[in-house]
Amino acid sequence: MRPEARGTRMDWELGISGYIAPATLSAAVRYLAESSTQEYPPLVWAGGTDLMPRMRMRWLDSPEQGGLQSLLSLRSVSELSGIEVVGDMLRIGSLTTIEEMRRSPLISAHAPALAIACDLFASFQIRHAATLGGNLVNASPAADTAGPLLVHQAVVVCAGWRDGSVDERHIPLAEFWLGPGRCALAADELLVAVELPIFPDSGWVAYEKHCRRPAKDISIVSITLAVEPDGDGGLCRSSLALGAVAPTPLLVPQVAELLAEGGFGSKEGHSRASRMAAEAASPIDDVRGSAAHRRHLVEVLTHRALDGIAARMGYSDFNGYEPPQRMTITQSGSALTNCELPPMTPQPSAELQEGDIEVNFTLNGGPMRRNIAAGATLVALLREDENLTGTKIACEEGECGACSVLLDGRAVQSCLTLAVECEGREVVTVEGVYAPDGELHDLMEDMLIEGGVQCGFCSPGMVISGLSHFLNGGGGGEQELARAIEGNLCRCTGYLRLLSGLERHAARLGGGVGLE
């Protein structure tokens, strides 16, 4: 339902009564422990890309079903962000964003299946906000990071407040999910990190996210395969994980056993393993595909993954075999991009704030101070309070990209962004994108020259996404530019003209790009 139709500001507040953003892990888990027994305990906020649509559906459609809740934001807890090697383990903070992992040389080198999954995750706008911890705690059977982390033998680290201090416990990821939307995290615990052993350089991984479109879609089926050669023509370890075909992401140990017993590297062994994988799946019928179709896909994709890795490893039965382009097969390697992103950390708010909250940030180059409700979205603030209507409202669930703005130089979806999370940060809307003389920015001019504007509804979001791509080290290749706007829908379907505008702009760039 469109908020304007309801006619009240509460439509934007989403049932949120207060906001707190602790600066430390100990403060966060202590607050959670003290408030978790309330009738309506606080909602834990990481990236918000899954939580915000659920909040909106609950509050706008059935506000009587839930009471007002405070929001515990983890975005200011710097301890929860970052990627590091500790001994022979890779440790990833739960607040690390998908885009930070996608660009990390450590992830590419030591967890290659995870690097591939992050590259195919949603869109740039979502990847800039979505976090690893949020993707796991959301407990979707189709979670993109789940299969890669399972084959990489991940363990999740949970923390609670016990006897006056932070107490951690470790749970193998395969035991973490209990069902759709349910996980083993206690009500007074936070997921703080994921740890996994470093993947050997000699190992191989295969990954495919099979879906209807290349971006912003949920898997019909996903498959992840990892194998580690023993140096004598066999395998010392293998692991197969399936997504979207069971109540939780699924490991298939019987396939690993078959491959370890000599089934890898032969056509007969691969056929048996593929049938085993299909038999292990327990899919359902839904709008994305039937159970029978999903089971068939599991068999086909498992076969392709096994054949593809065997071909790369030099097994003669598979000489010359190449799986379809949608499947990625690789070893540990270099980062997908040479431009790492530092974490974005909002200003902390040590005490619970209720009612209207004062927020100070930079908007289109100028200072901005406003008193806003804790649950107000950034798009509401921009359009309702500031009359910056270039930022459009359409899907309100992060699907279309029309509401895209720059937050600290990165494209995000303002319909999924809380205004209070912008404290101390820089927001740029399409109205703030201009040339030094106040005229059209070069990117806008290039899009106009190439006819990259039809009805104009999607154009502001397209401009923001294109600019974010160039600001953050994106290149000018055709495929790169197509991916730059993969999170933006054009209802006139004029993508070729838009891409021509981006190509023209890439050609004109010399030493970089700026807002002015």
CATH number, domain with residue 99 = 3.30.465.10
Q: Which of 187, 218, 253 is the last residue of a domain?
A: 253
| pLDDT the model gives residue 37 | 83
Whether the per-residue pLDDT at 1 is higher than 50: the answer is no
| pLDDT the model gives residue 66 | 53
Residues in contact with 85: Cβ distance below 8 Å, sequence separation at least 6, in sequence order: 91, 106, 110, 198
Rounded to 10 degrees, what is the CA torsion of 123, 128, 134, 136? 50
Residue with tokens 């498959």: 223
H or E element, residue 395? none
**Do 96 and 235 sit in the same domain of this protein?**
yes
| pLDDT the model gives residue 61 | 46
How much is the average pLDDT of 223-249? 96
Q: Which tokens belong to 347?
A: 């200003």
Whether the per-residue pLDDT at 256 is higher than 80: the answer is yes
Q: Flag the least confident range among 147-151, 339-343, 458-462, 510-514.
A: 510-514
Whether the per-residue pLDDT at 179 is higher than 80: the answer is yes
Determine the number of helices (DSSP H) and then strands (DSSP E) in the chain.
Answer: 16, 21
Instruction: List pLDDT tens digits, range 325-334.
Output: 889 999 976 5
Residue 448 CB coordination number (10 Å) = 13
How much is the average pLDDT of 243-252? 98
Question: What backbone phi and psi angles, to 5 degrees, belong to 506?
Answer: -60, -40
**Do 243 and 112 sit in the same domain of this protein?**
yes
Instruction: List pLDDT tens digits, range 456-503.
Output: 899 999 999 999 999 998 889 999 999 999 999 998 877 999 999 999
**Do 166 and 63 sit in the same domain of this protein?**
no
**Do 103 and 233 sit in the same domain of this protein?**
yes
Residues in contact with 162: Cβ distance below 8 Å, sequence separation at least 6, in sequence order: none
The answer as to whether 158 is a domain residue is: yes
Band (pLDDT 50/70/90 cuts) for residue 400 is very high
Residues in contact with 70: Cβ distance below 8 Å, sequence separation at least 6, in sequence order: 16, 17, 18, 19, 20, 35, 42, 43, 352, 354, 374
Q: What angle do CA 34, 39, 43 make, to 5 degrees?
A: 65
Number of domains in the chain: 3
The answer as to whether 326 is a domain residue is: no
Domain of residue 467 covers: 433-508
Q: Which of 398, 427, 456 is the last residue of a domain?
A: 427
**Do 213 and 150 sit in the same domain of this protein?**
yes
Residue with tokens 């690097």: 115
Instruction: List pLDDT tens digits, range 180-208.
Output: 999 999 999 999 999 999 999 999 999 99
Q: Which of 199, 228, 253 is the last residue of a domain?
A: 253
DSSP 410: E
Question: Pick the residue with more confidence: 247 or 13?
Answer: 247
What Cα–Cα distance (Å) separates residue 299 from each residue in 32, 242, 259, 280, 303? 44, 11, 15, 10, 6
Burial of 37 (C-beta count, 10 Å sphere; 0-12/13-18/19+): exposed
**Do 474 and 437 sit in the same domain of this protein?**
yes
**Do 136 and 169 sit in the same domain of this protein?**
yes
Say how far apart CA 310 and CA 137 lie, in whole Å: 34
Q: Three-state SS for 283?
A: coil
**Do 438 and 386 sit in the same domain of this protein?**
no
**Do 66 and 93 sit in the same domain of this protein?**
no
Say how far apart CA 387 and CA 508 lie, in whole Å: 33
How much is the average pLDDT of 143-154? 98
| pLDDT the model gives residue 54 | 85
Band (pLDDT 50/70/90 cuts) for residue 71 is very high
Question: What backbone phi and psi angles, to 5 degrees, belong to 322?
Answer: -130, 125
Whether the per-residue pLDDT at 161 is higher than 90: the answer is yes
Nearest to 16 by CA among 374, 466, 281: 374
Question: What backbone phi and psi angles, to 5 degrees, belong to 353?
Answer: -110, 130
The answer as to whether 315 is a domain residue is: no
Mean pLDDT of the chain: 90
Q: Are 403 and 411 in contact (CB under 8 A)?
A: no
**Do 421 and 438 sit in the same domain of this protein?**
no
Q: Are 242 and 147 in contact (CB under 8 A)?
A: yes
Q: Are 333 and 112 in contact (CB under 8 A)?
A: yes
**Do 142 and 231 sit in the same domain of this protein?**
yes
Band (pLDDT 50/70/90 cuts) for residue 335 is very low
Percentage of the chain exceeding pLDDT 70: 91
Whether the per-residue pLDDT at 5 is higher than 70: the answer is no
pTM of the model as a whole = 0.92
Question: Pick the residue with more confidence: 405 or 8?
Answer: 405
**Do 151 and 176 sit in the same domain of this protein?**
yes
Q: Which tokens belong to 488?
A: 């933006």
CATH number, domain with residue 493 = 1.10.150.120
Q: HEC states along 72-125?
A: EECCCCHHHCCEEEECCEEEEECCCEHHHHHCCHHHHHHCHHHHHHHHCCCCHH
Q: Are 295 and 278 in contact (CB under 8 A)?
A: yes
What one-letter code names the amino acid at 388?
Answer: L
